[in-house]
Structure 1
Amino acid sequence: MTATHINKVVYPGKLSELFYFAYGSNMNERQLASRGIKPSSIITARLPGHRVGFFGYSRVWDGGMETIVPEPRADVWGVLCQLSFEDGEVLDVWQDVRQDGGGVYFHYPATVIDAGGREHLVLLYKKDILGVPRPPSREYLDFIVEGALGRGLPEAYITGLRQTESIAAGYPVPRRKHFNREFLLVGCRGGCGGG
């Protein structure tokens, strides 16, 4: 097996694939499908030494947005998705990841452990600027829990997610974007100006 170097991170396997760890709303099959993203494989895994936290504000869900934060004696459970680079680019646009680092999230390399104890080097989305913790909307939290249930995450972990403080959204959520992000991505593949 060959190793591929991408942004100074070594990935085993072919250059045409990306290994991504979803721990929040992207665990939900409905969300990935609505964005046209089709992982070629999905397995459950855990990220040791972290917990899920909610910070910032999402207009889509009217509440805090998920990210990971260090927590020595905790694990974040989620799913390891094998994506094509094209699907990875589409997901980056939806998550507002930018090459200049000015987006809401950035690519964070990490090592996750699957149910068989095997380690996998992956990318995940992490917020750069946290600020004050902010509860997610109850609807957003329920959507994350739905994804965790659908992916067969451990019951104790799901119970912990359900106990996360949340608030009712003040308007119908999710609020859809008013433009086609995939169009923007396709339009910039040839190279967009910075700024």
Structure 2
Amino acid sequence: MEENHFFYFAYGSNISSSTLKKYCPTAEQICVAKLNGYRLDFKFWATIVPNPSKHVWGLVWQIHNRDIPQLDYYEDVENNLYRVFQVTVHSSDDRAITCRCYEMMSDFTLDQALTLGQNVNTMLKPDNIPAIWYMKNIIDSAVEAKIPDYYIDELKAVPTKECAFRE
């Protein structure tokens, strides 16, 4: 990787190239990867939550540094919706890749809602339920990216709601 690029781990709507490339036109898909030690949750938008026995699937993108301001703007870092931090993910051939990642700035304490083998929270409070169109984007993008079927099944089990708001 060139010095003027970074790796980004996307686990929600940014798995979609059409979504990500709207504000990161330099983004190039690198590989499907797994982030260990986290689970997927929602507060309308997707986020990751630390959990030592879980994992999150997503995509690694290589992006030029000049796209960082747009990516931070989209993730609303300035208003503390998400925070930026580094994670190490593993590709299907078990290559470790250090990536920029975003985590929602909220406390999530619903680990008890997950079964032993579950990685995606499907027992959401009513205000946390994502929109139908948002989850469809995530699921369709995950299928296209060839994220493992069991994980896509968990995504399909996330409750959704009608929502007039659209990105």
TM-score category by the smaller chain?
A: 0.7 to 0.9
Take 1:108 and 1:135, find their aligned partners in 2: how far apart are those partners? 25
Count of aligned pairs:
150
Residues 153-194 of structure 1, C-alpha deviations (whole Å, 9 max, x = no match): 11111111010122222x2x424xxxxxxxxxxxxxxxxxxx
Match of 2:3 in 1: 15
Determine if contact 1:18/1:88 at 8 Å carries over to the other structure.
no
Match of 2:132 in 1: 138
Structure index of larger Rg: 1
Match of 1:52 in 2: 40
Determine if contact 2:21/2:27 at 8 Å carries over to the other structure.
no
Choose the corresponding residue for 1:93, options 73, 79, 91.
73
Match of 1:108 in 2: 85
Match of 1:65 in 2: 45
Paired AA for residue 157 in structure 2: Q
Give the superposition deviation at 1:135.
1.1
| RMSD of aligned Cα (Å) | 1.8
Give the superposition deviation at 1:32.
1.7
Query: Secondary structure of the residue that 2:94 maps to in structure 1?
Result: coil
Determine if contact 1:37/1:91 at 8 Å carries over to the other structure.
no
Residues 41-81 of structure 1, C-alpha deviations (whole Å, 9 max, x = no match): 421100012111112xxxxxxxx111101222221000011
For structure 2, the 5+ residue unaligned runs are 110-124
2:69 aligned with 1:118:
no
For structure 1, the 5+ residue unaligned runs are 1-12, 56-63, 176-195
| Percent of residue pairs identical | 28
Choose the corresponding residue for 2:16, options 14, 20, 28.
28
Match of 2:26 in 1: 38
Match of 2:121 in 1: none
Query: Secondary structure of the residue that 1:157 maps to in structure 2?
Result: helix
The 1:85–1:22 alpha-carbon spacing in structure 2 relative to 1, beyond 3 Å, is same
Question: Could you state the TM-score of these two structures normalised by the residue count of structure 1?
Answer: 0.71
Residues 73-98 of structure 1, C-alpha deviations (whole Å, 9 max, x = no match): 22100001111001222211111123
Determine if contact 1:16/1:85 at 8 Å carries over to the other structure.
yes
